[in-house]
Amino acid sequence: MDDETELAMIRRKKMARLIKREKVAKASNERRAKVKAEHAKLLARFLAPDAAQYLEGLKKSEPAIAGRVEEIILNLIINRGFRQVINQLDLRYIVRQLKGEGPKIRIQRGGEMTDFGDYVREATKNGSNDSN
């Protein structure tokens, strides 16, 4: 009888620990869901419709970059007091900065796409050859 009582006590303690762990996990999930809902509200309020659409597309194509962009925007809104509407151009700038890309201007001539810098170099080279 003693062993059975100890075994029952151990089972009750284990069950109590499992219930407590489950309650903590549930509270944590609820808190995360609440924070996520608040973040979604802030983004909806401060993102222009075209920016929100761009961010949704970015979430599908590059989820890591989109997550980082959201973090940056939320940091600006929450911690820095940024209160302006953010448009798609602003989001594209943030994405380019995260990727380390510089500004790019492309020229299409004769069905061929070239970088603007290459185009200018080629034009100046041809111009200097013509003058000689």
What is the domain partition of the chain in residue ranges? 2-102, 103-132
pLDDT in tens, 5-43: 899 999 999 999 999 999 999 999 999 999 999 999 999
CATH class of this structure's domain 2-102: mainly alpha
The bridge status of strand 112-115 relative to strand 106-109 is: antiparallel
What pLDDT does 104 receive?
73
**Helices and strands (H and E) in the chain: how many:** 5, 2
Report the amino acid identity of residue 78. Answer: I
- Taking the CA atoms of residue 13, residue 15, residue 17 and residue 18 in that order, the dihedral angle to the nearest 10 degrees is 170
Arithmetic mean of pLDDT over the chain? 87
Read off the pLDDT band of 130 (50, 70, 90): low
Asked whether residue 77 carries a pLDDT value surpassing 80, the answer given is: yes
- pLDDT tens by residue, 80-91: 888 889 999 999
For residue 94, pLDDT over 70 is answered with yes
Residue 116 to residue 106: CA distance in whole angstroms: 5
- Say what the pLDDT of residue 83 is: 86
The label of the residue with tokens 């809104």 reads 77
Mean pLDDT along residues 70-76: 92
- Does residue 105 register a pLDDT over 80? no
Q: E strands along the chain, which residues?
A: 106-109, 112-115
Classify residue 48 by its DSSP letter. Answer: -
Task: Find, among 66, 9, 10, the residue nearest to 39 by Cα.
Answer: 66
Among 63, 93, 53, which Cα is nearest to 76's?
A: 93
Q: CA-to-CA distance for 73 and 111, rounded, in angstroms?
A: 39
pLDDT digits (tens, 9 = 90+) for 39-65: 999 999 999 999 999 999 999 999 999
